[in-house]
Amino acid sequence: MGQVSISDVAEHYGTPCYVYSKQAILDVYQAYSDSFASLDHQICYAVKANSNLAVLGVLAQAGAGFDIVSRGELMRVLAAGGHADRIVFSGVGKTYDDIEFALNQGIGCFNVESISELALINDVAQQLGKRAPISLRVNPDVDAGTHPYISTGLKDNKFGIAHDKAVGVYEQAAMMDNIDIVGIDCHIGSQLTEVAPFVAALDKLIELIGALRDKGINLRHIDLGGGLGVRYIDESPVTIDKFAQALLPKLQALGLKVFFEPGRSMVANAGVLITRVDVLKPTEHKNFAIVDAAMNDLIRPALYQAEMAVIPETLPSDDTGTDAGNEAMTWDVVGAICETGDFLAKDRVLTLAVGDILAITGAGAYGFTMSSNYNSRGRASEVMIAGTQHQLIRKRETIEDLYRDEMLWQD
């Protein structure tokens, strides 16, 4: 990976371990910046994809803004050197405390998802003697054509304010003393490979912006959310450049500042999860390679039937897929957790031996951030590489860490 050998990283830090390339993250950030250079724009990296402080720090230093969905994410961004005024606060369930904290930090914008949230923000802002910058997250009712769990722009999803109600809610917002209307927002889903749903959503927002102008409500920015897909195995997602080309003419005509909230596309392919083969268990029906990472480390295959590529540490030396006398066989790569759903990859042709190191690619997004301690397993370590250097950016959790805050019942 880059100029660093994955087996060296495995030896140095142990496995399972997430490894991220600093340069790969910066390259994608640069690709977004270059593609939208002709517009006043702000890339707000969606922190939920990968919230390690080092990742946030690299992006903050490059000038990125951030999209957050909790006070926890906000505190991480601030701890990593990000600026509050470049942060948009998304999410359907913001609490009084979240809003108060964000306002006190000088948050850039709240992406508001309901009338009750709007009223709460107005109340909190009034208590603090401030005006809260808001945009409404509109649900444009566009089919993103992606996995149902990560599709968010349809009428029956919990997200956003219905397109046909949006103007009315803006009118209510305009009458609230402590609300400053600054923008409009949408996010229609994740891992979109086509540009058409983005264009359809943009058209719906443009229509609303026109209707709002007619009512004297003038916005400063439009936020098109995140959602651009990546290649995990053989997908061919639209490139950032083509994505921009499809949207630029309409955005230029609008004359508003443009925000994006990319998560996955910024970091997925900048990261791998490395894991060691502990047990090989061929059976009559299936061959299982039991590795030291599991669904608690990487839940995407179990939760979304996501397919992610598995690459052995040393690629086979010839096209027949054989090396060192081992035979290529079809394996399910699974963890050691007591669930049949605990798999990382199915039916992969691999040449394996116990002790081999495997890299699961595309793991930089929604990998570590969705990991858990199920089966009392400590979470993996995280390492960042740049050039020939590697640095630990999160220590492996110890078992003692897991029950440090628990207490025995006292009789």
Shortest gap between Cβ of 281 and ligand LLP (angstroms)?
A: 28
Q: What is the DSSP letter of 49?
A: G
Residues in 208-227 at the binding interface with ligand LLP, rule: CB under 6 A: 225-227
Q: What is the dihedral of CA 182, 169, 67, 90, to 10 degrees?
A: 150
What tokens were used for 330? 């079809």
At its nearest, how many Å lie between ligand LLP and the CB of residue 264?
3
Nearest to 69 by CA among 55, 48, 83: 48
Contact between 70 and ligand LLP by CB under 6 A: the answer reads no
Q: Which candidate, 37, 43, 35, 101, places its Cα nearest to that of 73?
A: 101
Cβ proximity to ligand LLP: between 331 and 343 the closer is 343
Restricting to residues 243-262, which ones interact with ligand LLP according to CB under 6 A? 261-262
Element (H, E) at 55: helix 53-62
Cα torsion 374, 97, 95, 173: sign = negative
What is the footprint of ligand LLP within residues 85-124 (CB under 6 A)?
90
Contact call for residues 226 and 263 (beta carbons, < 8 A): yes
- Phi then psi for residue 111, to 5 deg, are -90, 110
User: 139-168: which residues touch ligand LLP (CB under 6 A)?
Assistant: 150
Stretch that binds ligand LLP, among 168-176, 187-195, 245-253, 346-354 (CB under 6 A): 187-195
Binding-residue pattern over the window 284 to 303 for ligand LLP, x denoting contact by CB under 6 A = ----------------x---
Strand-pairing partners, residue 17, are: 274, 381
How, if at all, do strands 287-291 and 271-282 pair?
antiparallel
Among residues 35 and 190, whose Cβ is nearest to ligand LLP?
190
φ, ψ for residue 315 (rounded to 5)? -70, 145
| 264 part of the interface to ligand LLP, by CB under 6 A | yes
Nearer to ligand LLP, 227 or 312 (CB): 227
CB of 105 to ligand LLP, least distance (A): 19
Q: Note whether 67 binds ligand LLP by CB under 6 A.
A: yes
In the complex with ligand LLP, the residue whose CB is nearer, 154 or 329, is 154
198 is a contact residue toward ligand LLP (CB under 6 A): no
Of these, 21, 50, 190, 351, which contacts ligand LLP (CB under 6 A)?
190
Examine the residue annotation and report whether 338 is marked as an active-site residue of this protein. yes
Residue 101 burial (CB count, 10 A): 16
**CA 241/CA 17 separation, integer angstroms:** 32
Q: Give the contacts of 32 (CB within 8 A, at least 6 positions apart).
A: 43, 240, 260, 262, 266
Among 53-61, 75-83, 238-246, 263-271, which window interacts with ligand LLP (CB under 6 A)? 263-271
Q: Give me the least distance between CB of 19 and ligand LLP, in Å please.
A: 18
Q: What minimum distance in Å lies between the beta carbon of 273 and ligand LLP?
A: 13
Three-class secondary structure of residue 370 per DSSP: helix
Total residues at interface with ligand LLP (CB under 6 A)? 20
Residue 186: left (phi > 0), alpha (psi -120 to 50), or beta? Answer: beta
Task: Please give the positions annotated as active site.
Answer: 338
Q: For binding to ligand LLP (CB under 6 A), which residues are involved? A: 46, 49, 67, 90, 150, 187, 190-191, 225-228, 261-265, 300, 304, 366
